[in-house]
C-alpha cells in the first residue's frame, strides 16, 4: 500500500476477481499425493469411528465405559459415558482406558483434539489425552485435572507438532478415580481432530522452563524432565498440556561433552568442558535449558578397605547395607534438598541438590553400634566452598523405645568448616563415638542428619559405622 | 479418486472465490495528511510531537472500573526497533500497568480515513482499542463530544472486534456497534488493518479493507455529533465493565503491536 496516496480503483477488484480463480483455485492433479494413512478426523461422534477399538486399563472397572443414547451433546444420537467407581469398589479402583486404532491415522493436517464433556457433579478428571496406543505411546499428550461440571463445555487438547503425527494409533484415553472417595458419571461427546486457526501462541518448555546448571562427570546420564506445551485457546486463556519428550528436537551445543537422544536422555561423554542442551518443537524454541559442566572423568570416592565384619553399612557399594527407610526424608516444611542420585560405572552416589539439610533414616530396625568405634562418610562438593560454609553431621539415637520422640532421643552434632571443607575432592569424614558426648548411647542409632547447606550440591558415598580395633 | 479430486477442486473454488470477498464500493481518492510509521530505535518513546499520554487510573478506572494504571515508561510504551510501537500490559501481583497514547492537542481532524495496522493482545480481561474522541470533550464533555471506536477487542474473544459510535442518547451499553469476527483465525497472531472512512453523512468501518458496518446520519437515534474534529487514542486496558476481569489463565505480559497509524483526507 502506498504511503502517500491511497486510491481504491473499483476496476482493480474486477481484475483481481478475474485473476483470483486462475491463480488460486486451480490445482495440479500431480500435487495431490495419496496419504499413506487415513486422515479421518473423527474419533467418536455418534459411535465409534472406522477402525476404533477400546481397551480398559489394568485395575480399572472394565465396564466403566459405555455408549449412551440418553445423555448426549446437542441431542445427538450417542455419547460416551464413563462411570467412576466408589472407593473399594470390588470391580476396580478407577475408570480408565484407551481408544485406539489398529491402523494408524495421519493427523498431520490437524492442530487440536476437541470434545464436549459434562458430569453429574463438579470434578477434575485425573487425565485425558491422546497418543496412548497401549504400546510405545511415543507421542502422548494429556491434560491433567481437567475441570468438568454439570454443563456441557468444549475442551481442546492442542497437538504440539502435528507434523510428527503421520501414523498415530492412540486416538483418546482417560483415567479418573473417585472424587472424595465417591464415584460419579461423566460424558464425553463429539471427539474429533480439528484444524483451528483460533488455537495460537504455542510455548514449549523443558525443565519447567528453568535454565539449570549441573556439574557432572563422564558416564553420568539423566533424562530431561519437566516438559510441557502451552497454547492459547479460542477464549484467550492458556492451556498447558503434558507431552512426551519425543515431540522435542534436542540439541547439544557440544556433543563431545554431552550427547542427547531423541527422547531426551542426556549422557556425559567427555570433559572437562561445558555443553548446553536445548530443545525445539516444530522450529519453536522451548524455554529452559540444561548446562552440563563436566569435570571430566568421574572421581570415585576412595574404595573402602575395612573388614566387612567390622562395618555396619548405611550406603556403600563395598558392603551390604542394613535396611534403610530413606536417604532423603523430604522433611517439610523447611527442607529444600532434592535427591538426584546417580550411578557411574556401577558406583552409586547420593546426590543432594538445593541442599540445606537432609535426613537419612534407618529405624526399622534401629542399628546397635555398640561394637563400633567410628562413623565414616565421604563427601564431595562440586561447587566452590563459600566463606563461612559449614557441614554439620548429626548422629541420632532413638533411645530405649526405638522410636522417634518419646523423650529418650539423643544426638550429637559435629561441625566441619574450611579448610577441612574443600571443593572437587572427596573428603573422608571420620568421627569417633568417643568425640560424641551428647549422643550417650549408640545402641538404637536411627538417623544421620546433614546440615549447613547453602543451596548448592553435595555428593555423599560410603556411609557406615566401623570398628577400628 | 478422480471424482474426489474433482470435488476438492470444486470446493476450493467455492470457498476461495466467493463473491463476498470483493465489494463494489464507490471510488474515493485519499490524500495522506498525517502518519506515524513507528520506525524509531528499540526502547524509544513515541514521537512527542505526535503523541501525548493519559496517565494513572483516571476517575473510576477511566469510567469503566478498569484495573490498570497508565504510565509513560518504556516498559509499557516503546518502539520495538522493527518498525512497530508496542503497548505492553504488565501484571505484578494484583496490579497492572499499561499505556494509553493520544493525539489530543497535537492532531485533530473531522472526516477522512483513519487507519491503523496492528496486532492485538489476547486473554480474558484484556481490552485493546484504537478509537477517536471529539476534541471538544473538555467543553461539552462525554458523550456529547462523540466517540468513534475504530476497533476494540475483548481478549476472551481474540477472533472478534467491534466498531462503535457513542453519542448523546446512545452511549456505553447503548452504543451503535457491530462485531466483526474471523471465521477461523485471530487478531493477535497476524497484523490486520482497522479503518474508518468518515464524511458528513456516514461512517464506514473496515477490517483489512472489508466494509463490515456503515452507520449513516439517519441510523442514529439521537444527535449526530460527528461534524467537528476528533483526536485518536490507542490503549490496552485491563479489566473493566466491557471486558470483565483477567483470570489466572490470562497470560501476561500482553502486547499491542502497532505497525502504523495513518490519516487521510478525501480529495476530489
**Residue B197 annotated as catalytic:** no
CB contact under 8 A, B159 and A32: no
Tally A–B CB contacts below 8 A: 105
Read off the pLDDT of each residue in A375-391 and give the average, rounded to a whole number: 94
pLDDT, position B15: 44
Which of A118-122, A293-297, B29-33, B77-81 shows the lowest mean pLDDT across its residues?
A293-297
Cβ-based neighbours of B116, under 8 Å, separated by 6 or more: B130, B150, B151, B193, B194, B195, B234, B258, B259, B260, B261, B262
pLDDT, position A317: 95
- Closest-CA distance, B127 to chain A, in angstroms, reads 12
Query: Residue B171, Cβ neighbours under 10 Å: how many?
Result: 18
Burial of A97 per CB tally in 10 Å (0-12, 13-18, 19+)? buried
Residues of B with CB under 8 A from a CB of A: 1, 5, 8-9, 12-13, 16-17, 21-32, 35, 37, 113, 122-124, 126, 155-159, 182, 184-186, 188-189, 247, 249-251, 262, 264
Q: How would residue A31 be classed by pLDDT, with cut points 50, 70 and 90? A: low
Query: Residue B268, Cβ neighbours under 10 Å: how many?
Result: 4
Q: How would residue A101 be classed by pLDDT, with cut points 50, 70 and 90? A: very high
- Percent of chain A whose predicted confidence (pLDDT) is above 90: 84
Q: How far apart are CA B119 and CA B101, in angstroms?
A: 16
Q: How far apart are CA A367 and CA A13, in angstroms?
A: 91
pLDDT averaged over consecutive 10-residue blocks of chain B (268 residues)?
A: 41 42 77 97 97 94 92 97 98 94 98 98 97 97 97 97 97 94 96 97 96 95 96 96 90 97 94
Total length of chain A: 469
Q: Report the SS3 class of residue A277.
A: strand
Residue of A nearest to B115 (CA): A6
Q: How far apart are CA A222 and CA A253, in angstroms?
A: 17
From the list A113, A161, A156, A157, the residue with the least C-alpha distance to A139 is: A161
Q: How far apart are CA B74 and CA B76, in angstroms?
A: 5
pLDDT, position A18: 43
Highest mean pLDDT among A4-13, A291-300, A372-381: A372-381
Q: Answer whether A3's CB lies under 8 Å from B36's CB.
A: no
**Residue B200 annotated as catalytic:** no
CB contact under 8 A, B32 and A4: yes
Answer yes or no: is pLDDT of A7 > 50.
no
Opening angle at CA B168, ends B164 and B171, nearest 5 = 40
CB < 8 Å to A3, chain B: 32, 35, 37, 262
CB < 8 Å to B31, chain A: 5
Answer yes or no: is pLDDT of A329 > 50.
yes
Opening angle at CA A9, ends A4 and A15, nearest 5 = 130
Query: Residue B161, Cβ neighbours under 10 Å: how many?
Result: 27
pLDDT, position B1: 36
Q: Report the SS3 class of residue B6.
A: helix
pLDDT, position A10: 41
The x, y and z cell numbers of residue A304, run together, are 573402602
DSSP secondary structure of A142-170: EEEEEEE-SS-EEEEEE-S-GGG-SSEEE
Each residue of A205-263: pLDDT tens digit? 999 999 998 888 898 888 898 999 999 999 999 999 999 999 999 999 999 999 999 98
Of A20, A26, A198, the CB nearest to B159: A198
Q: How far apart are CA B10 and CA A463, in angstroms?
A: 77
Of B21, B156, B184, the CB nearest to A236: B156
Phi and psi angles of residue B142, each rounded to the nearest 5 degrees, phi first: -90, 140
Query: Residue B190, Cβ neighbours under 10 Å: how many?
Result: 11
Answer yes or no: is pLDDT of A69 > 80.
yes
pLDDT, position A343: 81
Q: How far apart are CA A154 and CA A174, in angstroms?
A: 16
Q: Which one-letter DSSP state was computed for residue A287?
A: B
Q: Does A4 or A370 have the greater pLDDT score?
A: A370
pLDDT, position A221: 84
Mean pLDDT, chain A, as a whole number?
91
Preferred mutation among A236, A237, A287 to probe B, highest tally of B CBs within 10 A:
A236
Preferred mutation among B6, B11, B22, B260 to probe A, highest tally of A CBs within 10 A:
B22
CB contact under 8 A, B17 and A232: no
pLDDT, position B64: 87
pLDDT, position A33: 61
Residue of A nearest to B153 (CA): A236
- Closest-CA distance, B152 to chain A, in angstroms, reads 15
Q: How would residue A32 be classed by pLDDT, with cut points 50, 70 and 90? A: low
**Which of the residues B37, B147, B200, B223 is marked catalytic?**
B147
Each residue of A158-188: pLDDT tens digit? 999 999 999 999 999 999 999 999 999 999 9
CB contact under 8 A, A25 and B9: yes
Query: Residue B119, Cβ neighbours under 10 Å: how many?
Result: 20
Q: How far apart are CA A278 and CA A269, in angstroms?
A: 17
Read off the pLDDT of each residue in A142-165 and give the average, rounded to a whole number: 97
**Phi-psi region for residue A40, left (φ > 0), alpha (ψ -120 to 50) or beta?**
beta
pLDDT, position A340: 86
Q: Answer whether A25's CB lies under 8 Å from B17's CB.
A: yes
Amino acid at each position: 500500500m502506498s504511503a502517500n496516496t491511497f486510491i481504491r480503483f473499483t476496476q482493480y477488484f474486477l481484475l483481481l476477481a478475474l485473476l483470483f480463480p486462475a491463480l488460486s483455485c486451480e490445482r495440479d492433479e500431480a500435487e495431490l499425493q495419496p496419504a499413506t494413512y487415513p486422515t479421518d478426523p473423527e474419533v467418536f461422534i455418534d459411535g465409534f469411528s472406522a477402525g476404533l477399538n477400546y481397551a480398559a486399563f489394568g485395575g480399572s472397572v472394565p465396564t466403566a465405559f459405555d455408549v449412551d443414547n440418553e445423555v448426549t451433546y446437542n441431542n445427538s444420537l450417542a455419547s460416551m459415558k464413563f462411570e467412576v467407581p466408589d472407593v473399594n469398589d470390588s470391580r476396580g479402583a478407577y475408570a480408565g482406558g484407551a481408544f485406539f486404532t489398529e491402523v494408524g491415522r495421519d493427523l498431520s493436517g490437524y492442530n487440536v483434539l476437541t470434545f464436549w464433556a459434562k458430569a453429574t457433579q463438579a470434578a477434575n478428571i485425573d487425565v485425558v489425552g491422546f497418543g496412548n496406543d497401549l504400546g510405545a505411546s511415543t507421542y502422548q499428550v494429556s491434560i491433567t485435572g481437567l475441570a468438568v461440571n454439570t454443563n456441557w463445555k468444549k475442551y481442546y487438547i492442542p497437538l504440539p507438532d502435528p507434523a510428527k503425527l503421520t501414523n498415530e494409533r492412540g486416538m483418546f484415553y482417560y483415567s479418573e478415580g473417585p472424587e472424595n472417595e465417591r464415584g460419579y458419571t461423566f460424558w464425553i461427546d463429539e471427539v474429533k481432530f480439528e484444524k483451528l486457526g483460533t488455537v495460537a501462541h504455542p510455548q514449549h518448555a523443558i525443565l519447567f522452563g528453568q535454565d539449570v546448571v549441573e556439574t557432572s562427570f563422564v558416564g553420568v546420564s539423566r533424562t530431561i524432565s519437566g516438559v510441557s506445551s502451552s497454547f492459547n485457546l479460542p477464549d484467550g486463556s492458556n492451556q498447558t498440556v503434558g507431552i512426551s519428550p519425543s515431540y522435542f528436537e534436542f540439541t547439544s551445543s557440544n556433543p563431545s561433552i554431552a550427547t542427547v537422544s531423541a527422547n531426551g536422555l542426556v549422557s556425559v561423554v567427555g570433559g572437562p568442558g561445558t555443553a548446553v542442551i536445548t530443545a525445539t518443537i516444530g522450529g519453536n524454541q522451548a524455554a529452559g535449558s540444561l548446562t552440563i559442566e563436566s569435570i571430566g572423568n568421574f572421581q570415585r570416592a576412595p574404595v573402602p578397605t575395612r573388614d566387612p565384619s567390622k562395618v555396619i553399612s548405611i550406603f556403600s557399594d563395598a558392603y551390604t547395607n542394613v535396611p534403610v527407610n530413606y536417604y532423603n526424608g523430604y522433611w517439610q516444611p523447611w527442607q529444600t534438598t532434592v535427591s538426584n542420585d546417580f550411578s557411574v560405572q556401577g558406583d552409586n552416589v547420593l546426590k543432594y541438590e538445593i541442599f540445606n539439610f537432609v535426613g537419612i533414616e534407618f529405624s526399622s530396625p534401629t542399628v546397635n553400634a555398640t561394637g563400633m568405634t567410628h562413623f565414616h562418610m565421604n563427601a564431595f562438593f562440586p561447587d566452590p566452598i563459600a566463606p563461612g560454609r559449614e557441614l554439620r553431621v548429626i548422629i541420632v539415637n532413638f533411645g530405649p523405645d526405638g522410636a522417634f520422640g518419646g523423650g529418650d532421643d539423643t544426638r550429637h552434632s559435629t561441625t566441619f568448616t574450611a579448610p577441612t571443607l574443600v571443593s572437587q575432592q572427596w573428603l573422608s569424614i571420620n568421627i569417633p563415638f568417643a568425640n560424641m558426648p551428647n549422643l550417650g548411647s549408640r545402641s538404637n542409632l536411627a538417623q544421620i542428619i546433614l546440615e549447613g547447606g547453602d543451596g548448592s550440591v553435595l555428593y555423599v558415598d560410603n556411609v557406615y559405622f566401623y570398628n577400628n580395633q | 479418486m478422480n471424482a474426489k479430486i474433482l470435488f476438492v477442486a470444486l470446493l476450493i473454488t467455492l470457498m476461495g472465490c466467493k463473491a463476498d470477498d470483493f465489494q463494489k464500493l464507490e471510488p474515493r481518492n485519499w490524500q495522506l495528511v498525517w502518519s506515524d510509521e513507528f520506525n524509531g530505535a528499540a526502547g524509544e518513546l513515541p514521537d512527542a510531537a505526535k503523541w501525548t499520554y493519559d496517565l494513572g487510573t483516571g476517575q473510576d478506572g477511566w469510567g469503566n472500573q478498569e484495573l490498570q494504571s497508565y504510565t509513560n515508561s518504556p516498559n509499557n510504551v516503546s518502539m520495538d526497533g522493527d518498525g512497530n510501537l508496542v503497548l505492553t500490559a504488565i501484571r505484578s501481583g494484583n496490579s497492572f500497568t499499561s499505556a494509553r497514547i493520544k493525539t489530543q492537542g497535537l492532531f485533530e481532524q473531522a472526516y477522512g480515513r483513519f487507519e491503523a495496522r496492528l496486532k492485538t493482545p489476547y486473554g480474558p480481561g484484556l481490552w485493546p482499542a484504537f478509537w477517536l474522541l471529539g476534541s471538544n470533550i473538555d467543553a461539552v464533555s462525554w458523550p456529547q463530544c462523540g466517540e468513534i471506536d475504530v476497533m476494540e477487542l475483548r481478549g476472551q474473544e481474540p477472533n472478534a472486534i467491534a466498531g462503535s459510535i457513542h453519542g448523546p442518547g446512545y452511549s456505553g451499553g447503548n452504543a451503535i456497534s457491530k462485531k466483526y469476527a474471523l471465521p477461523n483465525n485471530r487478531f493477535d497472531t497476524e497484523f490486520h488493518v482497522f479503518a474508518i472512512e468518515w464524511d458528513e453523512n456516514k461512517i464506514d468501518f473496515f477490517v483489512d479493507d472489508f466494509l463490515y458496518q456503515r452507520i449513516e446520519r439517519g441510523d442514529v437515534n439521537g444527535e449526530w455529533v460527528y461534524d467537528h474534529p476528533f483526536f485518536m487514542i490507542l490503549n490496552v486496558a485491563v479489566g473493566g465493565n466491557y471486558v470483565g476481569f483477567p483470570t489466572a489463565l490470562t497470560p501476561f505480559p500482553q502486547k499491542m503491536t502497532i505497525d502504523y497509524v495513518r490519516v487521510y483526507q478525501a480529495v476530489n
